[in-house]
Structure 1
Amino acid sequence: MYKKPEKKPCGFGRIKPGGPPALRLAIPAGLVIATVIGIVLQSAPIFPHNTMNAWLRALLIGVCVTPASIALVWAVVVDRSTVPGAIPSPEHSVEFTWYDQAAKDSFHLLLAGTGLGAALASFWLPPMVSWTLIAVFAFAALAFAVSYLIHRES
């Protein structure tokens, strides 16, 4: 009796169980995204014109962002259950606990450092430095407040 051969395991996961490999979609989509980013950034007014061929600049930018674009598409489309060695619930792992604690500690250090830095910079450095630190502090505090309110409502 003929038995249908099972699909060989895919080292980088699949789009869904039994589906095509995730890299089969991630690579072309990532290349398209990198190309678009390269073209958009090369045409932005941030670069002085006539210093380099525009197509060469777009190509170089695209090459630089290609790995990140492919990885981003892969992370969006891959089914976690098809990745060999992936744990079923990473939010319950010890590494997640370490990461969570490090994020909390770094946030509190950011607030303390920017607050103290802004106070000290106002005495000894140009005013722009203290205003920059105040802006970073305000952004971090606002991000925390919004996150807190969102989590409180959910």
Structure 2
Amino acid sequence: MQTTRFGRPKFGGTQTKLLTLSVAAGAGLAAAAGAIVAAFVHDDSPLLAFAVYALCLFPVATAASWGFMVDRSTIRGATPDPENSIESHWYSQASENTLHAMLLGIGGLGVVSTFWDFHVSGSMLTLILGVFVTGTFGISYFAHKRAAS
């Protein structure tokens, strides 16, 4: 089968069809998410909220749509068996280390919270945990990569 830079759809067609459908689906998903946030979260300026959220989510939604629709075997230069690659092994090891770090971190916070009464908003807690998990994963992944080099 002929390969292209961006691949072909799983359901048949050309690269142009895949890209067009990905952009359309991404625009639809971004608009839906923007409308939901504008309707339920931002009462003071819903049109601005819709525009900002839709524009920020558009590239991510388009890429995700492309990822769901593309046939991997039609992408030029794609690894034929990514599950058995060294990067997959590093990813698995980093995921395992991140889980252990989360268990230790949350357990430690539980112990500290019995002695020190502190209050954190849900938004701030989500941001802190997201940065912690992302940082832990990234450090672990690159440590495994460096150890293998």
Give TM-score scaled by structure 2 length: 0.71
From 88, 103, 106, the equivalent of 1:96 is: 88
Please tell me whether residue 15 in structure 1 is matched to residue 29 in structure 2: no
Structure 2 stretches of 5 or more lacking a match? Answer: 130-149
What is the CA-CA distance between 1:17 and the residue it aligns to? Answer: 8.7
2:110 matched residue in structure 1: 118
- For residue 36 of structure 2, what is the aligned residue in structure 1? 40
Match of 2:63 in 1: 71
Paired residue total: 120
- Percent identity for Structure 1 against Structure 2: 33
| TM-score when normalising by structure 1 | 0.69
Unmatched 5+ residue regions in structure 1?
1-5, 137-154
Output one character per residue of 1:40-78: Cα deviation in whole Å (capped at 9) or x when no partner.
21011x22x23x3x3232122110100111011101000
- Matches of 1:31 and 1:23 in 2, distance apart? 12
Q: Which structure is higher in RCO with an 8 Å CA cutoff and minimum separation 6?
A: 2
**Structure 1 outlier segments of 4+, above 3 Å:** none
Quick one: distance in 1 between partners of 2:63 and 2:6? 11
Identify the match of residue 27 of structure 1 among 18, 23, 30: 23
Asked which structure has the greater CA Rg, the reply is 1
* Deviation string, structure 1 residues 95-143 (Cα, Å, up to 9, x no partner): 00001001001101111111122112211233x56xx8xxx9xxxxxxx
Return the alpha-carbon distance in structure 1 between the equivalents of residues 29 and 68 of structure 2.
14
- 2-structure distance, mates of 1:59, 1:18: 33
Aligned-CA RMSD value: 2.4
For residues 10 and 24 of structure 1, do their structure 2 counterparts lie closer, same or farther at Cα, with a shift above 3 Å needed?
A: farther
Partner residue, 1:59: 51
Structure holding more helix per residue: 2
